[in-house]
Structure 1
Amino acid sequence: MERSDGRLATVSYLFGAPEAPAEQPTVDETPAERAPDLAALPDLAAPAADGRTAASGWYLEPGAVDESEPDEVSEPEVETEAPALAEARRFLSAVKKDAPAATSGVRFVEEPDTLERTDPAEAKPPVVRKASINALARKGMSSAEMTTLLENREIDPDEVAAEVERLEAAGLLDDRVLADDLVRTLRDRKGLGKSAITAELRRRQVDQAAIDEALESVDVDDELERATEVAIKRAGQLSSYDRTTAERRLSAFLQRRGYSGTVVGAAVKAALGPAGPRFR
């Protein structure tokens, strides 16, 4: 059905029938019908409470913005640097500014290219020193013995003399100490007599004054006691001989050990006496 305004009348559905869809605007509405109601919009020409108008610029109504003073903004906490790092930064800053206070007590070295360079060959110990130290590492030596050894290496005599003097000053070469050690070792461990000890010290080129001083500790009584001990040990190996042969062999043995004739005779008699071994 049509209404008086030319539109179709609303359709009424029977009970139980599905409702009609919502009425859609017709396409023949005019722009004026779709325009908003301007009367409902605020009057932009009217002044605001503070006297400002839209013509003087945009404004916000009073109370729209919280005009109270903002709270004090706390600055973010800055992590404190370690004292050593802070000190290093201050030092570098002072050095860049050529501050005398910061550089006090600091010694600046020359540029690397201006430093004196050491020849690797000069850093090595000289041949004479290497040879002397290697020799002393094997055994004790007398000054003359060291001199002979270095000269046999075809080393310059002046260098040899300087090296021997250096070793003597350092206490690494000492004929008196060497002589005392040799006398004690040859007498107590090897059972040698005074003449054999003297021959060994001379062979080792020990200074004669040092030899005489060291042999002063060897007296006749000590030598006789040592010779008798050696003879008794040796006599036990001569039991297969007759007494005369045993005496001859034992005497020769003690003489080779460096004992004098008087000491040898007394030691043989003590070793082959009644308490000694029996001979055939």
Structure 2
Amino acid sequence: MSEPDGDEPGTNHGARTGRPRRGRRRTDGEGPGGGTEAQAKDVCLRLLTDRARSRAELATKLEQKGFAPEVSERALDRLAEVGLIDDADFAQQWARSRHLFSGKGKRAIALELRRKGVSDDDAAEALDGIDAASERERAAELVRKKLRTQAPLPTEGDRREIAAERDRLVRRLVGMLARRGFAQGMAFEVVRDELDGHTHDLPTE
């Protein structure tokens, strides 16, 4: 009697015939043909669980995982409809967090938002929430923190050497603020104000 065609219940037909066993089914868009809209949404939801993200960030992740552009667009549109993607809200959260907790100035935050694909309008609205007084106070806090680890400037000795040492410290502190995105003019003012409270007046001749 001949063997029945096809797989029998409970048998490993792939192993018996020498064919490789199938691996687990992919749950994202990797591989030929990409993935489905539902799979794309699942990828986005996992990413959003970690932190808020811009639409452009999510689109890039889906592209990297092999989802077709039209599939990604439909998934992103659906998530935007239910409020899970909102670039304006994302920009507000990002600007506030980076300013308060990372000590970033408006220029640096604007560059970060641009890199994340946030529109100029959404970025401008978010940055408007950081007023000049708040930015100046954040810069002053950063300078004070740095000065706590800085040895006091000398107050005795050659006046020119003392002035040169002060100028070097000013440049270092201003450079630190500039790298964090604070405007140079404000940075100089903040550094000089904080140094005046940190050191004694230079000795008179």
TM-score (norm 1): 0.52
Q: Is the 8 A contact 1:179 1:210 kept in 2?
A: yes
Question: Which residue pairs with 2:180 in the alignment?
Answer: 257
Q: State how far apart, in whole Å, the 2-side matches of 1:185 and 1:131 are.
A: 25
1:141 partner SS = coil
TM-score (norm 2): 0.70
Q: State how far apart, in whole Å, the 1-side matches of 2:169 and 2:93 are.
A: 34
Q: State how far apart, in whole Å, the 2-side matches of 1:125 and 1:259 are.
A: 42
Match of 1:159 among 61, 71, 74: 71
Equivalent residues in 2 for 1:91-102, closer than 5 Å: none
Q: Is the 8 A contact 1:238 1:246 kept in 2?
A: no
Q: State how far apart, in whole Å, the 1-side matches of 2:179 and 2:147 are.
A: 15
Match of 2:170 among 240, 247, 270: 247
Letter in 2 for 1:244: D
Q: State how far apart, in whole Å, the 2-side matches of 1:219 and 1:135 are.
A: 31
Match of 2:80 among 161, 168, 182: 168
Question: Which residue pairs with 1:133 in the alignment?
Answer: 45
Q: Is the 8 A contact 2:139 2:182 kept in 1?
A: yes
1:211 equivalenced with 2:134 (yes/no): no
Question: Which residue pairs with 1:230 in the alignment?
Answer: 142
Q: State how far apart, in whole Å, the 1-side matches of 2:115 and 2:180 are.
A: 16
Q: Provide Cα deviations, 1:98-134, integer angstroms capped at 9, x if missing partner.
A: xxxxxxxxxxxxxxxxxxxxxxx9xx98321221121
CA gap 1:264/1:148 in 2 versus in 1, 3 angstroms: same
Number of equivalenced pairs: 157
Letter in 2 for 1:190: S
Question: Which residue pairs with 2:5 in the alignment?
Answer: none
Q: Provide Cα deviations, 1:139-196, integer angstroms capped at 9, x if missing partner.
A: 1111111111111111111110100000000111000111111111111111211101
Question: Which residue pairs with 2:15 in the alignment?
Answer: none
CA gap 1:277/1:190 in 2 versus in 1, 3 angstroms: farther
Q: Provide Cα deviations, 1:204-243, integer angstroms capped at 9, x if missing partner.
A: 2222211011111222222222212221221222226632
Runs of 4+ in 1 over 4 A off after TM superposition: none
Please, what is the CA RMSD of the aligned residues? 2.3
Kindly, what percent of the aligned residue pairs are identical?
Answer: 29
Q: Is the 8 A contact 2:152 2:199 kept in 1?
A: no
1:276 equivalenced with 2:188 (yes/no): no
Question: Which residue pairs with 1:201 in the alignment?
Answer: 113
Q: State how far apart, in whole Å, the 1-side matches of 2:131 and 2:152 are.
A: 34
- Deviation, structure 1 residue 278: 6.2
Question: Which residue pairs with 2:101 in the alignment?
Answer: 189
Q: Is the 8 A contact 1:236 1:277 kept in 2?
A: no
Q: Is the 8 A contact 2:41 2:76 kept in 1?
A: no
Q: State how far apart, in whole Å, the 2-side matches of 1:248 and 1:132 are.
A: 44
What residue ranges of structure 2 are gaps of 5+ in the alignment? 1-24, 26-35, 154-164
What residue ranges of structure 1 are gaps of 5+ in the alignment? 1-120
Higher relative contact order (CA 8 A, sep 6+): 2
Question: Which residue pairs with 2:61 in the alignment?
Answer: 149
Q: Provide Cα deviations, 1:51-83, integer angstroms capped at 9, x if missing partner.
A: xxxxxxxxxxxxxxxxxxxxxxxxxxxxxxxxx
Question: Which residue pairs with 1:266 in the alignment?
Answer: 189
Whichever structure has more helix as a proportion of its residues is 2
